[in-house]
A and B are shown apart, each in its own frame.
Chain A
């Protein structure tokens, strides 16, 4: 039956090319681009003949290839970034390839007519920075009910099976006090002397962060520093440091926030009337459907057990079909696995062509061969994990 999948792949080449070109031609900015991607994916899924195609208020487009038993439901997730400035810039292809391969993995499986036990949900979700608006909305509104057996992330893994990514968060430390208590009584350079101890402590912390063999180092970087007068009289002043943090298994967003709070309080709480507050940053965006969405800027660390049957079956079928996959982890990018596996505990793996590094190379064209190989690999994985076995059956002639 894998021969059927391989053979039918050839019949999709032309359509894949046309769709890839159309996607690449989209060059609007902001929500215009998001809207364009969503609409294009929606139309293509309809044309292919997905059993149902929907677009929700968050801008998620979901095409379903119906299974026959309503068990072993799987989701194939790709994302598109909201509010990027241009199609040809850095980071663009990281989602284009994912979208093309996802949409046509569903097409390939449909064309083979090989029955799946459960439904395949092919989801294209919007994301902005660290705010995964799309996936959260999708989970609450449909994915939760789907009782998923597994999720496949259409992210670059160089044809390996990736099983996790680092956690990432953005938090802010706000230190405020009254001017009559001599807090931040001067502005400009002199003001920095008040902030300096905290900046130095954060710097020190960044040098002692844990290193993980699989995911690399955790990291801390100061993203922004702001100063503001908090009331109209200017008597109440505040400085705020915004921190970007990446972390792995030994930390989580709560422990990181607690640590940051402790450091700041150690420095400033001795001063009268000074208040230290830490919080996770949040972001907002307007979806292509006009919905305003707000989200914390945090993504959990996640890692799948490599002995999980979803993983071993996937590795096995790839090996049997000419791939040479090994287990790997994303060291730079953040994925929707932070939610699907990290928070909702759904078995999740990632598979795709290309490398993480290639995401940061400008103007990389979509590589047709890589896309086809990636579609084939994803289809094989899905069929092995959710297809109805054909033991004892050969193609065509009985």
Chain B
């Protein structure tokens, strides 16, 4: 074992799930991974944990009434593995934490005094922050000897300049309520940025990048200049920007107000429409999954319209960002739709030659997996298809911070 070796236990939790992974740093080797699902839920199936070490895969049903239970079970399984193979262990915890507000501006080691600060952020991402917070709180009381780090989903966007960050609302209101573009998927955008530059052998500090994180649920496009985010399609919340599975994305607020007034809709009903019933689901009606839409192109007018709207919204940002960056050097497609759908990539890049973007048809349609440059030979912009890996980015960030903390 080299002195700089460090095993990072990455923790990424949702309201009913906990994903964990031990990553050996700095080589970024995955030692084990697992996922607890259906935490606190018992309907048809019981909660269970999938735990994978090397080639050994175990699926264990367990009483997982809370995130605490799931975490304890995961640690118990890891301990069993350590008994069999001493190289399986962890040195630090690294938590994915969505939105730290103004309290943290970069990956941070969380000490006892920071718990109070984190508590103040719960309302900023009310579905995601509380889960991560509860684990951090548990680790700070039950595992005091293990350093823990929080890696934030929004801090990559802290560099967005003021004119892109603020909204055209009364300045007093902006200040009073701290209204600004926050931007999300920061861990993913940063990962693909670093990987793209490493793959192309270029310095991240000299590149103009458009990163398209196109998931089956959420999606965002980020403009990156010289290694810094300068715009994100997601705003104060993840609702703004691209058309997503059930989210409308950009919308005329006048129409929303009109709808609330004329239909006597409450705030909650309106929010549910915008967040849960719109997007692909709203237009296509039969499914919220873009892949279902694509299967019915040419056969169903609603599918045609939904797909066209989805693509045009991406192109709106590609055009805007190309102007913002004065033509991109690199364009990246990532996450499930970004990786698996050549049609989306083709349509998104169609007729953008004037911006220096030319996709190679064969490379695009015959993507073999991994990282590839799918740009045509005459393209000024490299067009990368690049699977994201948020867990590695979280481990990387925590590792860097830990090393830095030790040195200072």
Q: Is the CB of A390 within 8 A of B126?
A: yes
Q: Is the CB of A396 within 8 A of B122?
A: no
Quick check: is A115 within 8 A (CB to CB) of the other chain? yes
A389 CB to closest chain B CB (Å) equals 7
Chain B: interface residue total (CB-CB under 8 A)? 47
Among residues 316 to 333 in chain A, which have CB atoms less than 8 Å away from a CB atom of chain B?
Answer: 316-317, 320
Q: Residue-by-residue, is A367-398 near B (CB-CB < 8 Å gives 1, otherwise 0)?
A: 00000000000000000100111111111111
Contact status of A388 and B41, CB under 8 A, knowing A113-B134, A393-B128:
no
Quick check: is A72 within 8 A (CB to CB) of the other chain? no
Shortest Cβ distance from B16 into A: residue: A7
Task: Kindly identify which residue among A11, A389, A397 contacts B218, using a CB–CB cutoff of 8 Å.
Answer: A397
Q: Is the CB of A398 within 8 A of B153?
A: yes
Shortest Cβ distance from A14 into B: residue: B42
Q: How far is the CA of A398 from the CA of B17 in the complex (A)?
A: 14
Among residues 255 to 293 in chain B, which have CB atoms less than 8 Å away from a CB atom of chain A?
Answer: 266-269, 271-272, 275-276
Quick check: is A225 within 8 A (CB to CB) of the other chain? no
Query: In the assembled complex, which residues on chain A have CB atoms less than 8 Å from the CB atom of B236?
Result: 392
Q: How far is the CA of A394 from the CA of B151 in the complex (A)?
A: 20
Q: Residue-by-residue, is A107-132 near B (CB-CB < 8 Å gives 1, otherwise 0)?
A: 00001111101000000000000000
Q: How far is the CA of A393 from the CA of B240 in the complex (A)?
A: 11
Q: How far is the CA of A394 from the CA of B274 in the complex (A)?
A: 11
B138 CB to closest chain A CB (Å) equals 12
Shortest Cβ distance from B336 into A: residue: A397
**Residue among A317, A395, A397 facing the most chain B CB atoms (10 A cut-off):** A397
Q: Is the CB of A393 within 8 A of B269?
A: no
Quick check: is A1 within 8 A (CB to CB) of the other chain? yes
B12 CB to closest chain A CB (Å) equals 10
Quick check: is B247 within 8 A (CB to CB) of the other chain? yes
Contact status of A397 and B217, CB under 8 A, knowing A4-B15, A392-B275:
yes
Task: Kindly identify which residue among B65, B123, B268 contacts A115, using a CB–CB cutoff of 8 Å.
Answer: B123
Task: Kindly identify which residue among B47, B130, B246, B276 contacts A114, using a CB–CB cutoff of 8 Å.
Answer: B130
Q: Is the CB of B122 within 8 A of A394?
A: no
Q: How far is the CA of A393 from the CA of B39 in the complex (A)?
A: 20
**Residue among A117, A393, A398 facing the most chain B CB atoms (10 A cut-off):** A398
Q: Is the CB of A115 within 8 A of B41?
A: no
Q: Is the CB of B66 within 8 A of A111?
A: yes
Q: How far is the CA of A157 from the CA of B42 in the complex (A)?
A: 28
Quick check: is A8 within 8 A (CB to CB) of the other chain? yes
Query: In the assembled complex, which residues on chain B have CB atoms less than 8 Å from the CB atom of A389?
Result: 126, 267, 271
Contact status of A393 and B275, CB under 8 A, knowing A11-B65, A13-B42:
yes
Quick check: is A10 within 8 A (CB to CB) of the other chain? yes
Q: Is the CB of B66 within 8 A of A396?
A: no
Query: In the assembled complex, which residues on chain A have CB atoms less than 8 Å from the CB atom of B98?
Result: 398
**Residue among B215, B240, B268, B272 facing the most chain A CB atoms (10 A cut-off):** B268
Contact status of A7 and B238, CB under 8 A, knowing A68-B119, A392-B271:
no
Shortest Cβ distance from A8 into B: residue: B40
Q: Is the CB of A388 within 8 A of B123?
A: yes
Quick check: is B237 within 8 A (CB to CB) of the other chain? yes
Task: Kindly identify which residue among A7, A15, A115 contacts B126, using a CB–CB cutoff of 8 Å.
Answer: A115
Task: Kindly identify which residue among A14, A15, A112 contacts B15, using a CB–CB cutoff of 8 Å.
Answer: A112
Q: Is the CB of A113 within 8 A of B15?
A: yes
Q: How far is the CA of A71 from the CA of B183 in the complex (A)?
A: 29
Q: How far is the CA of A4 from the CA of B276 in the complex (A)?
A: 14
Cβ contacts A to B, 25 pairs, < 8 Å: A4-B127, A7-B41, A8-B41, A11-B40, A11-B41, A11-B42, A14-B42, A68-B119, A68-B120, A113-B15, A320-B268, A320-B269, A388-B126, A389-B126, A391-B237, A391-B271, A393-B125, A393-B237, A393-B238, A394-B217, A396-B14, A396-B217, A397-B14, A397-B217, A398-B98
Chain B interfacial positions (CB closer than 8 Å to A): 14-17, 39-43, 47, 65-67, 98, 119-120, 122-123, 125-128, 130-131, 134, 153, 184-185, 215-218, 236-240, 246-247, 266-269, 271-272, 275-276
The 10 closest A-B pairs by CB, nearest first: A392-B237, A397-B217, A396-B14, A392-B239, A11-B40, A113-B130, A390-B126, A388-B123, A115-B122, A398-B218
A391-B239, A392-B271, A398-B185 are known; give 12 further A-B pairs, CB within 8 A.
Answer: A1-B126, A10-B41, A317-B268, A388-B123, A390-B127, A392-B240, A394-B217, A394-B275, A395-B14, A396-B17, A396-B217, A398-B238
